[in-house]
Amino acid sequence: MLGLPWVAWGALGVAMHLGLVWYGLVPNLVVRPLHMAYILPWIYLAAARSPWQRRTGALLACLGMAASLWVAWHANALGDQYGALEGSLQLAVAGVLLVVILEGARRVIGWPLPLIALTALLYGMLGQYVPGELGHAGLPLASFLGTLTIAEGGLWGSLTGISVGVVAIFVIFGAFLNAGEAGQGFMNVASAAAGRLVGGAAKVSVVSSALFGSISGSASANVASTGAITLPAMTRLGYPKRLAAAVEAVASSGGQIMPPLMGAGAFVMVELTSTPYVTIMAAALLPAFLYFFTVWMGINAWSKRECLAALPSEAQPTRRMLGVTVGFFVVPFATLLWGMFGQHWTPEYAAAFATLAAAVLLGWDNEGRVSRAKLGQRVAAALRGSGQQVATIGCIILCASIVVGVLAITGLGVKITSMILSGANGSLALSLLLTAVACLVLGMEVPTTAAYVICVSVAGPALMQLGLQPLQVHLFVFWFALLSTITPPVCGAVFIAAGMVGEHWLRVALSAMALGIGLYVVPVGMVVHPALIDWWSQPVAAAVALLQMATGLGLLSYGLLAPMTVWLRGAAALGGLALVLV
């Protein structure tokens, strides 16, 4: 457990990021380097697991913080250089910043994303030696590295701005919710809503994971938190271990597409599409419903095969417990939605006030009593948790920003777009398939948000040239970037859930893919039925598309999982798929 100094460092981060919402405008070349300086101790020191990591981490954190603070202090002068480094000191600062971020990302999430970023950097410096269309004419080193490190491109580009100004605020909000009784409130609501049904424990997992995932934005965190309650409940009731783990993995993966908060990628989408967050949230609503509806129908189909029991009455919450705990997440959520819809505040401004509401509720326990002892513990946990999560996401986004910056500087993104268009020979279906495969492969190696950003930067323009609307393209790519949470060979949510129940991960993965078939099909449905993500202006067409897709997905799910003959299952699956895609 991290001690008092880290609680204080977490408090500084909360004050800085929430304060930015109220302070007003701060130059980007000041606040974004300060954000990086803040996250480095979390990455290099708080997460250190050995003396060697602590010693090297202290050195790298100090160097990185010094370089970041140097950029922030000299922001005005650097703005006049237009991204061109001057002198050996500035070259050293640029080198330190890039090395520190690459190594930080490696420590946080492993090699794949840093290797992609390093490859991009090498391409920017040596691309003139690459033959054919993918090469470039060559870039002056001072200009190339300067654009990435002392200008509002690369490290300090719009993605980092989103991490500072929006993602961090919602991460802090989620940390304060999670530190209190909101998680138990989610479970109680889910148990009351679905616990009495056939397959009730599995359905409780679906509902609770959808609710919790809407604030956590992380499939792995969702599995670890709600799974600690739902997985033992399912196994005690005799559910097959592969099913219990698959249900939790699939339900948790849907949290990143579930409004109102969704994952960090949703806030990145706001910037990349210049679309208001409220519009993205509304566009994601019906597809998210279809996803969880498909999981629900899959559980029904499996229940017919396994005779899955409902939750016993003693495991269901009393009315009093439900009434008390529901307020722990209803009040902050109501504050958030009232701010966005009632007062027309920006999402981050509304989230800042919702965070204050969540912080006030930390003083009450699940019996509705004030508890001073728990208040201190919960505030400390919220401050530590918010710092760690802001740092993890911030480091990933900074590393992905290197890739996006190189794509923009060298024009490689445009070249790859042209190759996709020519390779698909003008076929939208083939372009979608190529994009989906790219998202799946990249998503297996890097976090969802990074995979989404890189794929949409490369393939997005090609799909738009073929007639798709920007929001269609971004949602399509974002959904397919999620596939790696349940799709082998790298499926993080499955690994965690399988480990928690002691089942072989591959068996869990196969069951998860069948239960989560909506994750593979719904993005295509958004392309075939654009009214699904534009229901407020096309309500009749959206209702028809929703009914058609729900019927098709239900048939598809039953075809994969229900106890029928092979021929009937095949007919149901094919009929369902046809309904979705026609």
Rounded Cα distance, 221 and 120, in Å: 30
Classify residue 365 as left (phi > 0), alpha (psi -120 to 50) or beta: beta
| Six-digit token string for 436 | 């989906």
Rounded Cα distance, 551 and 204, in Å: 23
Residue 506, number of CB atoms within 10 A of its CB: 14
Burial class, 314, CB count within 10 angstroms (exposed 0-12 / middle 13-18 / buried 19+): exposed
Q: pLDDT, tens digit, for every residue of 169-214?
A: 888 988 898 888 877 777 777 778 777 777 777 787 787 777 766 6
Q: pLDDT, tens digit, for every residue of 409-448?
A: 988 877 877 777 677 777 888 888 888 888 877 776 567 7
Q: Which ranges of 307-371 does DSSP label H, i.e. alpha helix?
A: 319-325, 327-337, 347-361
Q: HSE of 270 in the Cβ direction (CA atoms, 13 Å)?
A: 21
What confidence score (pLDDT) does residue 173 get? 86
**Could you tell me if 327 and 362 are in contact, meaning their C-beta atoms sit under 8 angstroms apart?**
no
Region of poorest pLDDT, from 6-10, 69-73, 482-486? 482-486
Find tokens 């999402």 and name the residue: 347
Q: How far is CA 249 from CA 200, 224, 299, 553, in A?
A: 17, 10, 13, 19
Q: Which helix (H) or strand (E) holds 394?
A: helix 372-410
What confidence score (pLDDT) does residue 437 get? 81
Q: How confident is the model at residue 373 (pLDDT cuts 50, 70, 90)?
A: confident
Q: pLDDT, tens digit, for every residue of 352-361?
A: 999 999 999 9
What confidence score (pLDDT) does residue 223 get? 77
Region of poorest pLDDT, from 117-121, 242-246, 436-440? 436-440
Burial class, 569, CB count within 10 angstroms (exposed 0-12 / middle 13-18 / buried 19+): middle
What confidence score (pLDDT) does residue 471 get? 93
Residue among 51, 37, 389, 326 at smallest CA distance from 191: 326
pLDDT at 484 over 70: yes
Q: How many helices (H) and strands (E) does the chain have?
A: 28, 0
CA quadruple 189, 257, 172, 221: dihedral sign: positive
Using DSSP, state whether 370 is helix, strand or coil.
Answer: strand
Residue among 475, 405, 480, 496 at smallest CA distance from 448: 480
Spatial neighbors of 70 by CB under 8 A, at least 6 apart, are: 93
| Six-digit token string for 187 | 């479970």
| Six-digit token string for 83 | 């991204």
**Residue 155 has what DSSP assignment?**
G
Spatial neighbors of 278 by CB under 8 A, at least 6 apart, are: 340, 341, 347
Q: Give DSSP secondary structure letters for 18-86.
A: HHHHHH----HHHHHHHHHHHHHHIIIIIT--SHHHHHHHHHHHHHHHHHHHHHHHTHHHHHTTTT---
What confidence score (pLDDT) does residue 309 get? 67
pLDDT at 97 over 90: yes
Residue among 477, 211, 487 at smallest CA distance from 333: 211
What confidence score (pLDDT) does residue 71 get? 97
Q: Find the mean pLDDT for residues 140-162.
A: 90
Phi, psi of 218 (to 5 degrees): -135, 120
Q: Find the mean pLDDT for residues 371-382.
A: 87
Give CA 144 to chain center in angstroms: 30
Q: pLDDT, tens digit, for every residue of 522-567?
A: 999 999 999 999 999 999 999 999 999 999 999 999 898 888 888 8
What confidence score (pLDDT) does residue 265 get? 77
Question: What amino acid is encoded at 22 in this protein?
Answer: W
User: Helix crossing, 51-73 with 87-109: angle to 10°?
Assistant: 140
pLDDT at 234 over 70: yes
Q: Find the mean pLDDT for residues 377-399.
A: 91
Average pLDDT, the chain: 86
Q: How confident is the model at residue 17 (pLDDT cuts 50, 70, 90)?
A: very high
| Six-digit token string for 89 | 């000191």
Question: What amino acid is encoded at 354 in this protein?
Answer: A
Strand partners, 370: 364
| Six-digit token string for 566 | 């092979």
What confidence score (pLDDT) does residue 382 get? 93
Burial class, 443, CB count within 10 angstroms (exposed 0-12 / middle 13-18 / buried 19+): buried
Using DSSP, state whether 448 is helix, strand or coil.
Answer: helix
What confidence score (pLDDT) does residue 215 get? 60
Rounded Cα distance, 471 and 352, in Å: 27
Q: pLDDT, tens digit, for every residue of 437-463?
A: 888 777 765 677 777 888 888 888 889
**Could you tell me if 579 and 555 are in contact, meaning their C-beta atoms sit under 8 angstroms apart?**
yes
CA quadruple 27, 31, 34, 40: dihedral sign: negative
Rounded Cα distance, 398 and 392, in Å: 10
| Six-digit token string for 350 | 């509304």
Q: pLDDT, tens digit, for every residue of 7-16?
A: 999 999 999 9
Residue % of the chain over a pLDDT of 90: 38
pLDDT at 92 over 90: yes
